[in-house]
Amino acid sequence: MQKQIARIEITGAIAGPTRKRVLEALKTIEDRRFPALLLRIDSPGGTVGDSHEIYSALKRLRDKIKIIASFGNISASGGVYIGMGAEHIMANPGTITGSIGVILRGNNLERLLEKVGVSFKVIKSGPYKDILAFDRELTDPEKDILQELIDTTYQQFVQTVAEGRNLAIETVRSFADGRIFTGQQALELGIVDRLGTEADARRWAAELVGLDPEKTRCHTFEERKPLLSRLLSGGQQSLLCRQGLPGLAAGADWLEFEMSTAGLPLWLYRP
């Protein structure tokens, strides 16, 4: 058995690349027989499917090792869902968490297209094949279909939180209305077990598996990028910082996520 604790960090919006990296890391952690996993979550959430796959993998691994989730600055919506795969959860008192719910977003550019004289001719196999098309308003039947989709996904979220935290479904529903709350409030609601830092969570994980909490260190599973990509990324980040635009790259990543997930149900905190 390893004398180290495994550590995975989930940051930013959760989508395909995050899912792939985390699932690969979880398989390695199982194969190398780490006694415990520290899961650091600093994410506003993300796509439903990717969040659920990570949660399911954590739940399976939890039968073999101890898993402690540490909520960082923000662990909301899909971040909470993933956290339900851990046996224990710790958050900072000021962590932004909650936002339990589902959102589906589309764009209606009909009026803009009319101004520039652009229209689309659509041939479709059924009345709902172009649901959420950006060049027209939703019809009432389409709204009903999408609302049913959202309601079903929401029920799945509520059920998972209720089971993961040993709470009644109606109790979860009472605060699962999209609101956000602090780590302190989450403790009072039963969403987290303790308040503390990531270091406190690491010591807790060590204690649970009989390791020295003061000496045990973490082996972090990070995303490995090709050398050229790392060099270019570092150079671009340095250039952006010199130009006073350190957040531009992160903004571009977020914009890409927004565009690629239009029309998908999301477990995502939207401030």
At 32 the pLDDT is 93
User: Which pLDDT belongs to residue 255?
Assistant: 61
Among the listed residues 3, 124, 129, 143, the single catalytic one is 129
Bridge partner residues of 266 (DSSP): 47, 103
pLDDT of residue 122: 83
Q: pLDDT digits over 93-117, tens only?
A: 999 999 999 988 777 777 877 788 8
Average pLDDT over residues 133-138: 82
Residue 231: predicted pLDDT: 41
Asked whether residue 69 carries a pLDDT value surpassing 90, the answer given is: yes
- The reported pLDDT for the residue numbered 131 is 86
CA distance 217 to 219: 7
pLDDT at 135: 78
| Cα–chain center distance at 218 | 22
- Residue 32: what residue type? R
CA-wise closest residue to 88 among 212, 205, 207, 215: 205
In 3D, which of 162, 174, 176, 157 has the Cα closest to residue 82? 157
- Establish how many alpha carbons lie within 13 A of residue 21's alpha carbon, considering only the half-sphere containing its beta carbon: 16
Q: What pLDDT, on the 0 to 100 scale, is given for residue 104? A: 85
Q: What is the pLDDT of residues 216-268, one digit of tens each?
A: 889 998 765 544 444 444 444 444 444 554 454 455 565 666 666 666 778 77
What local confidence, expressed as pLDDT, does residue 252 receive? 55
b/e burial code for range 118-135 (CB count within 10 A of at least 16 → b): eeeeeeeeeeeeebbbeb
Q: Annotated catalytic, 129?
A: yes
Query: 3-class secondary structure for the chain?
Result: CCCCEEEEEEECCECHHHHHHHHHHHHHHHHCCCCEEEEEEEECEEEHHHHHHHHHHHHHHCCCCEEEEEEEEEEECHHHHHHCCCCEEEECCCCEEECCCCEECCCCCHHHHHHHCCCCCCCCCCCCCCCCCCCCCCCHHHHHHHHHHHHHHHHHHHHHHHHHHCCCHHHHHHHCCCCEEEHHHHHHHCCCCEECCHHHHHHHHHHHCCCCCCCCCEEEECCCCCHHHHHHHHHHHHHHHHCCCCCHHHHHHHHHHHHHCCCCEEEECCC
Domains and CATH numbers, the chain: 5-268 (3.90.226.10)
Task: Examine the residue annotation and report whether 20 is marked as an active-site residue of this protein.
Answer: no
- Which pLDDT score, from 0 to 100, does residue 234 have? 45
Confidence (pLDDT) at 126: 86
Q: What is the pTM of this model?
A: 0.84
Catalytic residue among 43, 51, 75, 77: 77
- The per-residue pLDDT for 18 is 92
- The rounded mean pLDDT for the chain is 85
What percent of the chain stands above pLDDT 70? 83
Model confidence at 134, pLDDT cuts 50, 70, 90, reads confident
HSE (side-chain half, CA atoms, 13 Å) at 269: 24
Q: How far apart are CA 182 and CA 162, in angstroms?
A: 19
